[in-house]
Chain A
Amino acid sequence: MERREALKKIAYLMGGAISATTMGVLFESFTIYDPEKNTYYYSANDEEILAEFSEIILPTTAKSPGAKAAGVGAFIPLIIKDCYPSNLQEVFKNGFVTMLNKCKTKFNKEFLSLNTEEKNQLIVELKQQAIDTNSEPSFFLLARDLTILGYFSSEIGCTVAREYLPIPGKYDGNVEYKPGQKAWAT
């Protein structure tokens, strides 16, 4: 029975660790329906800003185009508007506006005029805030999670960054993994 007690302890600790990650924000779907309607409209300019934001999270590299090319700029507001309850839409919108204001106070520029170094600096700050607030839902967490989701479910993410097999035709659970080989998209 001692072993069982030890396992119980591990279960408890792991349980705590898991709930603190951002994976919870992305995958624990928000199953409580909230009847309040969102009225915030994301303009083409907003989508452009979100595209640039997502490009910092998952930028174009030598191996594959980034989140902007994958259409994440339009994907984020679509999901926020149609798939999130109003309280999280509110969190997202407020954080988005705060970020835009910060560009003006910190750099005296519009977001779209920031250079890559400045955008990185901004996002490092947002990331630190998310860590400091123990990963409470925020604009940064939602936008980053949706960037990852949107990118890896896009055609570019599935077929260029990863590899997609529409009809594998067979299963082999013991193939050699070549270093650097792409993950299968699903």
Chain B
Amino acid sequence: MNINTDLKKQNTYDAIVIGSGISGGWAAKELTEKGLKVLMLERGMNIEHIKDYDSAMKAPWEIPYAGKLTEEQKRTHPVQIRDHIYGQANENWWVNDLECPYTEDKRFDWYRGFHVGGKSLMWGRQSYRLSDHNFEDNARDGHGNDWPIRYKDIAPWYDYAEKFAGISGQNENWPLLPDGQFLPPMDMNCVEKSVKERIEKHYNKSRIMTIGRTANLTVPHLGRGSCQYRNLCSRGCPFGAYFSTQSSTLPAAMATKRLTVRPYSIVNHIIYDKETKKAKGVMVIDAETNESMEFYAKIVFVNGSTLGSTFVLLNSTSEAHPNGLGNSSGHLGHNLMDHHFRCGAEGSAEGFEDKYTYGRRANGIYIPRYQNFNGDKRDYLRGFGYQGGASRGNWHKEVAELDFGGDFKETLSRPADSWTMGLGAFGEMLPYYENKVYIDHSKKDKWGQPVLAIDCEYKENEAKMREDMMYDAAEMLEAAGIKNVKTYDNGCYPGMTIHEMGTARMGNDPKESVLNKWNQMHEVNNVFVTDGSCMPSTACQNPSLTYMALTARACDYAVKELKKKNI
């Protein structure tokens, strides 16, 4: 008996999936369903579906500090508090920045959730396909490298991902936003319907407004319950009504009995075998005991979120790969992108004082990109889409006027007289080689690992676009009869939209890219990367649905190649 051999056998799987968020969950589901024995490694704690959604059923008065953050939470989460995402109701789902530091050569807001499910538990759920126009943009204007795929390559996988995840929405036949396999759409409210009608009429349907396409179920779907309109999604849904690893991909993978999930497992690097020129496994640090251990597999899927995955690859150095695994192109860690937002317009809708809402819809409206397309020409490249919506809020001008007393209290107990309608843009960011991350060995995290340094900024194209993001919104709202329209640009730093992408991009040319058209490393053919790091461009649509489709597609390819013994 050789104990080492036994241990090695015990720690050997067909496939290892690094990360358990949106794309990691999909990889685990697809690979196990295709017969592989899979180990899914997650660096943080376990969160069990429903049982561990501690605040999901809490009433407002049961949330500590009425939802405000304490000074201690601000101390331990100096990055997470920069925007209004980190909140009291799910505060332990956001990373402790002191334990997991990084270096900001320029300000970059890195929002992270380290637990089983990753950001799939807290995501915004907006789910949009990219169009051929998006896949062609890099080649058309020469920024970044050409996408190695076109819409026809991914379309069946969008169908596949949507059918399983359950996306509600409305088909619109809009060239820049392909239709999909949707569950019934959520309703627009009375103000949104009026704004939609007037915008589409004013612009003669050269701009359209549709209900948000969201991974919230409008009808029961594959054993999951439908949305109850509580708008508390980010606490975890006790009805399983939005797509998350926990509600959707994890149960499917577990049902195969071929999945092992190991929480508290920080992947430090991928182990490269120079004889076979393949990855043979991963080195893991147990986050609780600090013990290091190895796991082995025939294929490795890297799904640790864009920058998490990029760290693992950059940290996987060997004689054959001195600058990081599969990085002879020098593009690993480069071309970092994010969307840019916090920019738009809002105003008040008059004439709806006799209307109100019932239920809290965790969704808004969407105006897909129309710029630099079909005769619309701008003085910058690419474009933006809008998310927004109308609501009848609670606050009154009396709050600002420092009123007090019985009448004041009664006023605050009723809704505002008028409705507000807002449009906030999400803009595309161009890929720039010099926007990059690299490993900073001068700093260590809680487990003694070096940290990532981030050097990324928006440039002139984004700045120019922001002008239009404000004024197009204002013009549309005015055309729709909205009053007191005011524009805003609250400023934006990379990282803020939590749509970071691009640091291990796909491409046909191994000299210009890290991954091929199957999300497979050009140089290490049993390693696949299918999270946001694979994206050659950002488009302006929310990207998670594309990660789902690309992951399912890559898993299909990987298993076929494995069976053909090509990897």
Contact = CB atoms under 8 A, between A and B. Distances in A.
A164 B66 contact: no
A177 B356 contact: yes
Contacts of A180: 414
Interface in B332-372: 345, 353-361
A170 B413 contact: no
Contacts, number: 188
B84 interface: yes
Nearest to B413: A161
Interface in B184-231: 186-193, 228-231
A121 to B, nearest CB: 13
Contacts of B186: 171
B567 interface: no
B251 interface: no
A3 B345 CA distance: 14
Contacts of B229: 168-171
A29 interface: yes
B355 A61 contact: no
Contacts of B68: 29, 79, 83, 149
B469 interface: no
A155 interface: yes
Contacts of A173: 187-192, 357, 361
Nearest to A172: B358
Nearest to B77: A33
Contact of B355 (A78, A82, A152, A176): A176
Interface string B450-464: 000000000000000
A129 to B, nearest CB: 10
A83 B71 contact: yes
A22 B408 CA distance: 15
B81 interface: yes
B373 interface: no
Interface string B59-89: 1110101111111101100100110100000
A64 B405 contact: no
A63 B407 CA distance: 11
B69 A23 contact: no
A14 B486 contact: yes
A69 interface: no
B75 to A, nearest CB: 5
A172 B357 CA distance: 6
A77 interface: no
B59 A22 contact: no
A33 B415 CA distance: 34
B474 interface: yes
Interface stretch (A4-12, A43-51, A96-104, A106-114): A4-12
B7 interface: no
A115 interface: no
Interface string A25-44: 00001010111000000000
Interface string B32-75: 00000000000000000000000001011101011111111011
Contact of A127 (B82, B345, B402, B470): B402
Contact of B404 (A64, A144, A152, A153): A144
Contacts of B65: 78-79, 82-83
Nearest to A66: B409
B432 interface: no
A91 B72 CA distance: 20
Given A11-B488, A31-B74, A173-B187, A186 B405 contact: no
- What DSSP secondary structure best describes chain B's contact surface? mixed
Contacts of A7: 345, 470-471, 474-475, 485, 487
A144 B404 CA distance: 8
Contacts of A130: 402
Contacts of A148: 399, 412
Interface in A56-78: 56-59, 61, 63-64, 66, 75, 78
B395 interface: yes
A82 B59 CA distance: 21
Most chain B beta-carbon contacts within 10 A, residue among A131, A144, A173 = A173
A144 B401 CA distance: 12
A141 B399 CA distance: 11
Contacts of A63: 410, 413
Given A158-B59, A183-B413, A170 B74 contact: no
Contact of A3 (B354, B361, B475): B475
A186 B60 contact: yes
A29 B190 contact: no
Contact of B356 (A59, A79, A164, A175): A175
B400 interface: yes
Interface in B472-527: 474-475, 485-488
A171 B360 contact: yes
B189 A155 contact: no
A155 B357 CA distance: 22
Contact of A149 (B66, B191, B404): B66
Contact of A10 (B356, B410, B487): B487
Interface string A116-145: 000000010001001100010000010010
Contacts of A135: 402
A49 to B, nearest CB: 16
Contacts of A11: 470, 486-488
Nearest to A1: B471
B290 interface: no
Interface of B: 57, 59-61, 63, 65-72, 74-75, 78, 81-82, 84, 186-193, 228-231, 345, 353-361, 392, 394-395, 399-400, 402, 404-406, 408-410, 412-415, 470-471, 474-475, 485-488
Given A31-B81, A84-B71, 12 more contacts: A22-B402, A29-B68, A33-B78, A82-B70, A127-B404, A130-B402, A167-B228, A170-B358, A171-B358, A171-B360, A173-B187, A184-B360
25 contacts: A7-B474, A7-B487, A10-B485, A21-B400, A29-B69, A31-B81, A31-B82, A59-B409, A64-B409, A79-B66, A82-B72, A130-B402, A141-B402, A144-B402, A149-B68, A153-B63, A154-B61, A158-B60, A162-B394, A168-B229, A170-B358, A171-B358, A173-B357, A177-B392, A182-B413
